[in-house]
Each structure stands twice: as structure tokens, then as C-alpha cells.
């Protein structure tokens, strides 16, 4: 049977939410299914799915209300739009209407709670794919997101109750935040060591889905010391000090800085430091470097770990900060905390580059997962979805 598949990307930005679905969509198409993508960033989706016979539709935007780091998943969803009751009702009506129109045999979501609720209300076969951050444990109330803090149970329950009250106006059967995922197949596409919640019990870890967003290689300059690959945004608080430190040490360094003006890119370069004008193929870069510096995007982090490369993480938001904290606690990275001064990245880099223990731990991780093939993860997920759709 030729199945109609709807892929939903409702919240979250960046390539990390879109590129894994390109691999999944390709496999669905190979097996004779049709694929429609309902996405909060249709422009990026059109770029990602170029060359694939996939229908792409822009989903309506949420009104974001952020007052600091969220305590748990419930507060994440609340701040990402559920705080506005009228907008929630409009969004739920939109997703319900579009799913009725598409009549999918299966709905596969990533960070898409309203799409999941709409599919639940229509009793459609459905699944939730994601990292530990976007696919939380099946617990009530939702546990805290800050492993460095002791959060009061009363406050976690309060955020849970607010969100549940909002959701029950549309789907009365939802009596906890965890019930948003009720009946959905769970596809946790991470390694256990990279779970934002630690090693949760009773969960299947599928492993990450890798899909390169670039084929640009690295033209490594001459220099003394290990090769350094960096991938950060121009807004990263650590960027100026990191680039200055790499130039001062004369290390051969290549990287990409998202949203960096061309004039600034040219000024920042030196004989030993090159900044690519377009994204670099991370597969190739991490295979050739000795140290990697990233903002902590999941796919990049997982690839660095699989290559056994020493890593410094300079997170830009909560999801990346939690993961960096977890990996640091396991001796798998150094990280520049939000609580430290930006200039501290110099010391953190030297610790990462010179740590024999970090090198051993990274090599052990790579050996543990040697031979990992994300295409098998993709085919397994697609097979399960089609079985549920039959």
C-alpha cells in the first residue's frame, strides 16, 4: 500500500530539526510513500528537501514568551507559545484541519506537541522523533532540565498543571504533559551518553541520524599543533576570544561562523586561521582534526564524539548547555559555561586541546560505537512507521 506520510516540524529552529527528516523522507519515498512536510521554517525546508518529491507547507508561527531558562519541558512548551490561549486554540484548529485534509496514514513529528495533540484527537497513527530535549521521559510531572540545580517538586508540578489545563481545553483525555505523547511511537535518535536527562530507564536509544548540509571540504593552513575545526555563530559570546586565541597560538584552524558578515570574515582570518564562506562538511572536518569547538548542536556533537576527537562546547542556549554539562560530567568534553566570563574560553580550549584524559575518553566512545550506521536507524524508523500505518 502506498502510504501518505505527514512530517511535522512545529517548534525549534536550525538545520538540526530539518536535515534528519531529509534522510527519513528519502527512505519513505524509496518505499513508495508520498511525503508532505508541515514546517515552521518552510524556507529552510525547501533548501533541505531540494531534489526530493516532497510537498512543503508553512505552519503558522507561535508568539514566543521567554523570561529565562525553562525549568522543564512543560515550561519550554508554555514559553514557546502555549502561554497564549487564543493562539493555542488557533494552532490546534489549524493542525487538526490540515491533518483532516491530508488524511495521512502516519504522522511523524519532531518538537511538535500541537501536531501530536491533533493526531491524538483524530486517532491517527503517529510518532515522535527527537533528541532527549525534545522527546522527554514518560514521567509526571516532567522532571527538571537543570542537573546543576535542585528544583522544588512544587514548582515543577505548577508548570505541569498550567500546561495541562491549557491542553485539556482541546483534548480532554490529556491529564499530564506526558500524555501528549500517548499512543505515539517514540524514536529517541541519540546515544545514551548524550541524553539531556541522563540514562532514562525503559527507553530505546536509536542513535543519531546524520545528513550533511554541505559538501565543502577543509583547506587546512600550515601551523604548529593539532588541527582545530570550529563551528559557531557570529552571536556566540566566546567567538572573539576563541579566534584571537587560535591566531595567537598559531594552530592550523578551519571553521565556519554562521551569519558572519563577509568583511568580518576577511578581517578575522590569518595565515593559520581560515573561515569558510559556507558551511563545511562536518564528516570530513572531524575526520581530519584533533580538536573541535562547537556551539553544541546535536548532530555536530555526535559526529565529533564518533570520530574520537577532543571537544570544547560553547553553548548558545539551554538545550546545548544541558548536553554540554552532561558530557563534561562524563569526561567527554570541556565546556564554556554561561556562568563564566567569555574570555575563559582561552583556558577551556587549552584544557581540551591538552587533556590526555579527554583524548582517551573520546577514543573510548568512538570505539564503543565503531561501525555505527545511521542509515540503519533511518530504515528501522521508516519500517516501524509503515507497519503502524498498515
| Residue 239: predicted pLDDT | 95
Q: Give the confidence band of 202 by pLDDT, cuts at 50, 70, 90.
A: confident
Does residue 336 sit in helix, strand or coil?
coil
E strand intervals along 146-250: 185-188, 228-233
- Tell me the torsion sign for CA atoms 308, 311, 313, 314: negative
The three grid cell numbers given for residue 254, joined into one nine-digit string: 578551519
E strand intervals along the chain: 4-9, 34-39, 54-58, 106-110, 126-130, 185-188, 228-233, 253-258, 273-276, 291-294, 310-313, 334-335
CATH code linked to domain 228-368: 3.40.50.2000
CA 143 vs CA 81, 100, 153, 205, 382: distances in Å: 20, 34, 9, 19, 30
Can you tell me which residue has the cell 521508516?
382
Residue-wise pLDDT for 289-327, tens only, equals: 999 999 998 999 999 999 999 999 999 988 999 999 999
Determine the length of the chain: 390
CATH class belonging to 4-207+373-389: alpha beta
Mutual angle of helices 345-354 and 356-368, in 10-degree steps: 60
Question: Among 7, 53, 8, which Cα is nearest to 32's?
Answer: 53
Give me the sheet containing 126-130, strands edge to edge.
54-58, 34-39, 4-9, 106-110, 126-130, 185-188
**Residue limits of CATH 3.40.50.2000 in the chain:** 4-207+373-389, 228-368
E strand intervals along 162-309: 185-188, 228-233, 253-258, 273-276, 291-294
In this model, does residue 340 exceed pLDDT 90?
no
CB-hemisphere CA count at 13 Å for 347? 7
Residue-wise pLDDT for 17-75, tens only, equals: 788 899 999 999 999 999 999 999 999 899 889 999 999 999 999 998 877 778 899 99
Amino acid at each position: 500500500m502506498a502510504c501518505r506520510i505527514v512530517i511535522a516540524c512545529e517548534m525549534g529552529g536550525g538545520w538540526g530539526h530539518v536535515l534528519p527528516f531529509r534522510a527519513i523522507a528519502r527512505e519513505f519515498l524509496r518505499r513508495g510513500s508520498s511525503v508532505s512536510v508541515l514546517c515552521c521554517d518552510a524556507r529552510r525546508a525547501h533548501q533541505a528537501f531540494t531534489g526530493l518529491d516532497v510537498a512543503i507547507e508553512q505552519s503558522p508561527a507561535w508568539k514566543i514568551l521567554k523570561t529565562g531558562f525553562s525549568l522543564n519541558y512543560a515550561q519550554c512548551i508554555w514559553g514557546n507559545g502555549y502561554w497564549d490561549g487564543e493562539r493555542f486554540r488557533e494552532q490546534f484548529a489549524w493542525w487538526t484541519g490540515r491533518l483532516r485534509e491530508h488524511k495521512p496514514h502516519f504522522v511523524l513529528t519532531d518538537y511538535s506537541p500541537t501536531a501530536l495533540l491533533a493526531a491524538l484527537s483524530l486517532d491517527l497513527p503517529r510518532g515522535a522523533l527527537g533528541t532527549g530535549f525534545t522527546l522527554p521521559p514518560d514521567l509526571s510531572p516532567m522532571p527538571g532540565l537543570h542537573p546543576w540545580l535542585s528544583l522544588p517538586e512544587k514548582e515543577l508540578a505548577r508548570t505541569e498543571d498550567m500546561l495541562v489545563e491549557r491542553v485539556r481545553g482541546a483534548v480532554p483525555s490529556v491529564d499530564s504533559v506526558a500524555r501528549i505523547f500517548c499512543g505515539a511511537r517514540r524514536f529517541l535518535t541519540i546515544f545514551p551518553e548524550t541524553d539531556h536527562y541522563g540514562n532514562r530507564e525503559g527507553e530505546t536509544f536509536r542513535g543519531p541520524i546524520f545528513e550533511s548540509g554541505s559538501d565543502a571540504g577543509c583547506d587546512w593552513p600550515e601551523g604548529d599543533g593539532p588541527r582545530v575545526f570550529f563551528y559557531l555563530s557570529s552571536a556566540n559570546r566566546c567567538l572573539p576570544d576563541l579566534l584571537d586565541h587560535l591566531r595567537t597560538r598559531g594552530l592550523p584552524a578551519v571553521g565556519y561562523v554562521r551569519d558572519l558578515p563577509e568583511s568580518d570574515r576577511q578581517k578575522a582570518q590569518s595565515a593559520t586561521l581560515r573561515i569558510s564562506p559556507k558551511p563545511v562538511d562536518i564528516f570530513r572536518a572531524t575526520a581530519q582534526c584533533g580538536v573541535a569547538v562547537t556551539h553544541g548542536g546535536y548532530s555536530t556533537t555526535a559526529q565529533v564524539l564518533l570520530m574520537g576527537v577532543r571537544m570544547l562546547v560553547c553553548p548558545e542556549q539551554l538545550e546545548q548547555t544541558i548536553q554540554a554539562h552532561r558530557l563534561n560530567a562524563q569526561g567527554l568534553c570541556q565546556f564554556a559555561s554561561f556562568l563564566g566570563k567569555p574570555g575563559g574560553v582561552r583556558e577551556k580550549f587549552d584544557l581540551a586541546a591538552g587533556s590526555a584524559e579527554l583524548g582517551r575518553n573520546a577514543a573510548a566512545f568512538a570505539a564503543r560505537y565503531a561501525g555505527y550506521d545511521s542509515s540503519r536507524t533511518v530504515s528501522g524508523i521508516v519500517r516501524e512507521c509503515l507497519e503502524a500505518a498498515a
